[in-house]
């Protein structure tokens, strides 16, 4: 077993999932990458089923992605009601969104000045701060 595969098995076990062949294939599609991967469930499903002889059902893709999201191995990114994205970059960061091709681009935390709020809501604490920069051709 490769180093990568045992890493996938760890991720799966941490997510309370048994390492099945379908889930390993999903891990390969998600995590065997040098760059951040931004995807919709449909993107991932198409990617998986185009290359594979043994298809993986859509339900399994949904289940696995959501389990990874819940265990923190994937981040969910809300762009608009038409596009529900996930992100393999789970560090704190923001995004550019190019509406011409529906592409997400990472904006590293150090590429943006710290967001400073002058207003607070009494009795509430901040859970997250997300910045979305929509871009278009010049």
Partner DNA sequence: ACCTAATTTATAATCATTCTAAACTGTAAG
Partner DNA sequence: CTTACAGTTTAGAATGATTATAAATTAGGT
Measured from the CB atom, is 34 or 81 closer to DNA? 81
Give the residue, chosen from 7, 46, 70, 78, that forms a contact with its own copies under the rule CB under 8 A.
Answer: 78
Strand, helix or coil for residue 80? strand
Q: How many C-beta atoms lie closer than 10 Å to residue 105's C-beta?
A: 13
CB 95 within 8 A of CB 60: no
- Paired tokens of 67: 């389990």
> What residue 23 binds from its own copies, Zn ion, DNA, none (CB within 5 to 8 A, per partner kind)?
DNA
Measured from the CB atom, is 22 or 97 closer to Zn ion? 97
CA atoms of 6 and 3, how far apart (whole Å):
5
In the complex, the residues that contact its own copies under the rule CB under 8 A are 76, 78-81, 84, 96, 98-99, 105, 107-108, 110-113, 115-119, 121, 123-138
In the complex, the residues that contact Mn ion under the rule CB under 5 A are 43, 102
């Amino acid at each position: 077993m490769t180093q990568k595969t045992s890493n996938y098995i760890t991720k799966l076990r941490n997510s309370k999932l048994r390492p099945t062949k379908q889930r390993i294939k999903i891990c390969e599609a998600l995590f065997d990458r040098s760059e951040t991967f931004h995807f919709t469930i449909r993107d991932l499903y198409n990617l998986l089923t185009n290359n594979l002889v043994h298809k993986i059902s859509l339900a399994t893709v949904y289940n696995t992605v959501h389990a990874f999201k819940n265990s923190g191995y994937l981040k969910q990114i809300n762009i608009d009601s038409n596009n529900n994205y996930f992100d393999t970059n789970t560090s704190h960061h923001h995004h550019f969104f190019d509406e011409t091709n529906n592409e997400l681009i990472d904006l590293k935390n150090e590429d943006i000045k710290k967001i400073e709020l002058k207003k607070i809501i009494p009795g509430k604490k901040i859970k997250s701060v997300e910045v979305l920069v929509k871009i278009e051709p010049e």
